[in-house]
Amino acid sequence: MDGSILFLAMPRISRALAPTADQALWILDGYGFAVGSLLIAFGNLGDRYGRLRLLKAGAAVFGLASLAAASAPTPGLLIAGRVLMGVAGATLLPSALAVVSELFPDPRRRARAIGVFAAAFAAGFAIGPVVGGLLLERFRWGSVFLVNLPVIALFLLLAPRLVREVTPARPGRVDALSVATSSAGLLFTVYGLKHLAADGIAALPLGAMAAGTVLLVRFAARQRRLVHPLIDFSLFRDRVFTLAIVTGLLPLAAWSATNYLAGIHLQSVLGLDVLHVALLALPGAAVLTVTSVVAPGFVDRIGKRAVLVTGHFAIAVGLLALLAVTPTSGTGWYVVSTAVTGIGYGISFAVVADTAVGAVPAERAGAAGAIAETSNELGNALGIALLGSLAVLVFRLRGPGLAPTLDETLHLTGLGAAGAARAKAAFVTGLHVVAVTASALHAVLGAAALRRFPKAEPADAGPARPAAGL
């Protein structure tokens, strides 16, 4: 809910705080990178010290960070608030999913439970824009973060009464150096990519990318030496597991990037108000929610291979519908795009974790589940960082060259109608490039799944728990 609201709020935040192009991207994806960097580490802490305890602490910090973000007077402080929300969010997902998996040891019931769990995320996507639209119509932009507080308060009140503590024994400790290396490597690499897209080739972004690459290589090498690594890279030897992890990453990347860009198109290019945009998002969100619930049932009937392939090609086709949007029209095509892609996103959200876990021995299910959830969070952040940077690059090359972003350009004094039209056309071109790029990647992945995923899948004979070892 929080993330989908933020997509709608960005034009209002841009007008109020005037962030640079780089700061705007960090406002959006700072949360995702903090979550992705710390997800596995906090999953291990939950296993060792108690998941309910970690859930309550993380929820409290998430609420405080939301309050700080709502009152941030500068882009830098807003980014800091979002990052702190990400740190707290990293405590919530693995422990919550672990508790759900503990409740349903039977594989088929577990798969359906994960589908419902995924549908809760989809429902948040559906509720978020409507709630955000209503809030932004009446209050300042900070209200979109305050919406988290009633949910957090309700959780802190009810969780101790309704959720039992789950503390399975897990040997080893969290390797602090691995956490620091992976986090710094991701941040430096993406920082470099963003600045290359926004500002062109320069020593600072190239140096940041080089440093980030070195750190990520060292992180991977260290994991192979540790007895209890944060990420067990040997799991990627299984082709089904690898396809599942990529399937967890790419749809989230496409979803985050295209929703962010489409929200700007509807508001800043077409001039629609936020509530109108929120209502346009409802059909796609409804499709996504329903698909998340029913996808496990289709897996039982036609198999994971057919379901995953269908999901990839649904996203590929749905993204191409965005090619029909123009600087003066496109609301109908936006609804069509979100409805068709919603089928694929719902399949991805519901099936990926269970597919990854089912591809490995039961004793390694925890590590597999951790990697699956991390791929989702990193996909969400990388979509904005990489595909968003691609859109920024296209705008820089095709736009009037007066400012690095559309909103900054449109608010320049003396711009004129011709300059505004050129800026809007350049932004739409960037949206088209991102849509085609993401569609092509999904088509390739769908073809790979069709070719590489086994037709006959082994029976799920044991009570593997997708997040029990997180």
Q: What average pLDDT does range 444-466 have in this prediction?
A: 64
Q: Say whether pLDDT at 422 is over 70.
A: yes
Mean per-residue pLDDT, 227-246 = 80
What are the angstrom distances between the C-alpha of 422 and each of 266, 389, 393, 412?
A: 17, 19, 15, 14
CATH 2.60.40.10 assigned to domain 2-174+230-452? The reply is no
User: Mean pLDDT, to the nearest integer, of 323-340?
Assistant: 95
Nearest-CA neighbor of 60 among 135, 160, 129?
Answer: 160
Residue 297: pLDDT band by 50, 70, 90 thresholds? confident
Instruction: Measure the CA–CA gap between 69 and 55, rounded to whole angstroms.
Output: 21
- Mean per-residue pLDDT, 250-266: 88
User: Whose CA is closest to 426, among 312, 315, 283, 268?
Assistant: 268
Residue 470: band (very low, low, confident or very high) from pLDDT cuts 50, 70, 90: very low
CA distance 175 to 230: 7
Of all residues in the chain, what percent carry a pLDDT higher than 90?
Answer: 25
For residue 440, the model assigns a pLDDT of 95
**432-460 mean pLDDT:** 82
The residue among 391, 392, 386 whose CA lies nearest residue 431 is 391
pLDDT of 362 higher than 50: yes
**8 A C-beta contact, residue 259 and residue 285:** no
Q: Render 192-256 in DSSP notation, one character per residue.
A: HHHHHHHH-S-HHHHHHHHHHHHHHHHHHHHHHH-SS-SS-GGGGGSHHHHHHHHHHHHHHHHHH
pLDDT digits (tens, 9 = 90+) for 166-220: 555 455 677 888 888 887 887 788 778 777 766 667 888 889 889 989 998 999 8
pLDDT for residue 256 is more than 60: yes
Q: What φ, ψ does residue 167 adopt, rounded to 5°?
A: -130, 70
pLDDT-derived band of residue 467, with 50, 70 and 90 as boundaries?
very low
Of 20-34, 50-64, 367-381, 426-440, least confident by mean pLDDT is 367-381
Q: Which of 137-151, 155-169, 264-278, 313-327 bottoms out in mean pLDDT, i.e. has the lowest?
A: 155-169
At residue 167, the pLDDT reads: 54
Segment 219-230 mean pLDDT: 84
Query: Do the beta carbons of residue 100 and residue 92 sit within 8 Å?
Result: no
**Residue 412, pLDDT above cutoff 80:** yes
Average pLDDT, the chain: 82
The rounded radius of gyration (Å) of the Cα atoms in the chain is: 21
b/e per residue 340-352 (b: at least 16 CB within 10 A): bbbbbbbbbbbbb
pLDDT score recorded for residue 84: 94
Calculate what percentage of the chain has a pLDDT beyond 70: 86
pLDDT of residue 321 exceeding 70, the answer is yes
Give residue 133's pLDDT: 77
Cα torsion through 16, 18, 22, 25, rounded to 10 = 20
Q: Among 3-17, 171-185, 212-226, 237-251, which range has the highest average pLDDT?
A: 212-226
Q: How many CA atoms lie within 13 A of 282 on its CB side?
A: 12
Model-level pTM?
A: 0.76
pLDDT band at 44 (very low <50, low <70, confident <90, very high): low
The string of pLDDT tens digits covering residues 111-155 is 778 778 777 877 777 677 778 778 887 888 888 888 889 989 999
> Residue 105: is its pLDDT beyond 60?
yes
Query: What pLDDT shows up at residue 270?
Result: 93
Whole-number pLDDT of residue 430: 95
**Phi (first) and psi of residue 290, to 5 degrees:** -65, -40
Residues 101, 106, 112, 115, CA torsion sign: positive
Interval 46-62 mean pLDDT: 82
- In whole angstroms, give the CA distance from residue 143 to residue 6: 11
Q: Where are the domains of the chain?
A: 2-174+230-452, 175-229
